[in-house]
Amino acid sequence: MDKYRIINDSDEVARLFEIFFNYVRVLIEIPKSDQEYCRQLFQAVFIKKDTIIETEGSLHKYHNFIVSGHMRNFHHNTEGKEITTDINDGPRFFTSYYHFIHQTVSNENLQCVTDCELLCISREDVEKAANIGLTTKEYTERVLQYYLEQSKQRIIDLTTLTGKERYLKLMNKHPSILQNVPLTHIASYLGLNAGSLSRIRQELL
């Protein structure tokens, strides 16, 4: 079975875009004409569990929107250990922002932890859309700001909360992550040892 599969069925594609526009609408209203253009630029794909869609040491080509499923962002530290820096579920954009913006060789990997339905747009098409004067630019700014706000909160959590508190917070905000993503990755994301996380979970029973 293939790891990638382009979704062609028009009903399926329509369903994905409906979720996409519902998500985007919260941040910014998109005119009908722009929506039509989006349907041309984004490609709908199904990606199998565990597939890595962008790898370290390369230029990341796509800006990805998770319609359904779970993804993580990870890299290898100097000792070769995997460090998971981000985990999220759809619907939501999920990209290695810094490298996508700077067009520098990335040191990060984007992996679909579960089966995923994605809407992907290439870097060039993002720019094409921005040049035509679509609402893209404004939207990109908001996505960046949202990401910044998330990072800020995460720093506060890491400096002020205990491991147990961070775990509970994640459990409350994203219960589906706990049910779908291996605890090894969650431990790394929370800044905990796998064994320590296991102990924390035990204490909560």
Partner DNA sequence: AACATTTCTTCACAAATGTGAAGTTAGAAT
Partner DNA sequence: ATTCTAACTTCACATTTGTGAAGAAATGTT
Coil, strand or helix: which one is 192?
coil
Q: In angstroms, what is the C-alpha Rg of the chain?
A: 18
**Please, which residue, 49 or 174, has the CB nearer to a copy of itself?**
174
Q: What part of residues 153-172 is at the interface with a copy of itself (CB under 8 A)?
A: 154-156, 158-160
**Please, which residue, 64 or 84, has the CB nearer to a copy of itself?**
84
Cα gap 134→137, rounded to integer Å? 7
- Smallest separation (angstroms) from DNA to the CB of 106: 22
Does position 85 interact with DNA (CB under 7 A)? The reply is no
Q: What part of residues 87-126 is at the interface with a copy of itself (CB under 8 A)?
A: 97-98, 101-102
Dump the DSSP string for 112-158: ESS-EEEEEEEHHHHHHHHHTT-THHHHHHHHHHHHHHHHHHHHHHH
Identity of the amino acid at 150 = Q
Residue among 12, 31, 191, 204 that touches DNA (CB under 7 A): 191
Q: What part of residues 29-58 is at the interface with DNA (CB under 7 A)?
A: none
The candidate with the shortest Cα–Cα distance to 71, out of 87, 58, 54, 55, is 87
Residue among 92, 123, 169, 199 that touches DNA (CB under 7 A): 199
- Smallest separation (angstroms) from a copy of itself to the CB of 62: 19
Using CB under 7 A as the criterion, which residues of the chain lie in contact with DNA when the complex forms?
Answer: 162-164, 182-184, 191-202
